[in-house]
């Protein structure tokens, strides 16, 4: 499953992770949290998440697991279709502490995904990676954990896409504000976009018909 699994992440998940990172305690190097979503035919769709309080030092890590369970139960009352599919952390490394946290989520999910979001922008962009774990070692001896990368894709429902497009329009505004448009303007823009897509589709079909000799 690890080799073929595709992890599809919605924008709201990234916004929530970044928000929790911006609100972290001053001495916290990273934030962690629970990923919620659904499994569907070899793919995993991450649709929601929430932060989990934790303390971390060089020698140990402690997460508020009771808080995580209570938050999950609250989410289940709102959307019963979303289940625990893994956990996230900010940063670009999988550490020994990550192994300990991942062990907890293996009890909450059959094959949890570990999502890392590099909020430091070390590569001039926000790298997003996902991993699944597997046990390695000799039977009867001390076993270890290996994290294997899986493919990550960004997807969005139409309402999410509209929201992201709106945010994109305001990124060059010094005040980071965007003027709301009327319903009529939105309909007009949607029709224009649909017209452009139909033109592209028509051109594609005509090219096929020409290549098959049905059109000149």
pLDDT in tens, 32-84: 999 999 988 778 999 999 999 998 887 888 899 999 999 999 999 999 999 99
Rounded Cα gap, residues 7 and 43, in angstroms: 6
Rounded Cα gap, residues 203 and 36, in angstroms: 41
- Read off the pTM: 0.74
The predicted structure's pLDDT at residue 183 = 75
Confidence of residue 180 (pLDDT cuts 50, 70, 90): low
The predicted structure's pLDDT at residue 64 = 92
Q: Inform me whether the pLDDT recorded for 212 exceeds 70.
A: yes
Rounded Cα gap, residues 46 and 35, in angstroms: 7
Q: Inform me whether the pLDDT recorded for 88 exceeds 70.
A: yes
Structure confidence by residue, pLDDT tens digits, 95-105: 888 888 999 99
């Amino acid at each position: 499953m690890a080799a073929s699994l595709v992890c599809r992440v919605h924008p709201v998940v990234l916004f929530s992770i970044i928000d929790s990172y911006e609100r972290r305690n001053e001495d916290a190097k990273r934030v962690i949290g629970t990923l919620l979503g659904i499994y569907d035919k070899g793919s995993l769709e991450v649709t929601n998440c929430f932060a989990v309080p934790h303390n971390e030092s060089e020698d140990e890590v402690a997460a508020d697991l009771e808080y995580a369970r209570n938050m999950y139960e609250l989410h289940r009352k709102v959307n019963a279709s979303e289940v625990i599919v893994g956990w996230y952390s900010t940063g670009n490394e999988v550490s020994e502490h990550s192994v300990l946290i991942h062990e907890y989520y293996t009890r909450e999910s059959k094959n949890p995904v570990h999502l890392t979001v590099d909020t430091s922008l070390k590569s001039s962009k926000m790298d997003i990676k996902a991993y699944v774990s597997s046990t390695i070692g000799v039977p009867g001896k001390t076993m270890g954990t290996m994290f294997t990368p899986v493919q990550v894709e960004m997807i969005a429902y139409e309402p999410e896409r509209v929201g992201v497009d709106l945010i994109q329009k305001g990124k060059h505004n010094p005040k980071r504000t965007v003027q709301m448009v009327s319903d009529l303007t939105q309909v007009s823009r949607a029709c224009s976009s649909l017209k452009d897509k139909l033109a592209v589709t028509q051109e594609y079909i005509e090219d096929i018909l020409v290549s098959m000799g049905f059109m000149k």
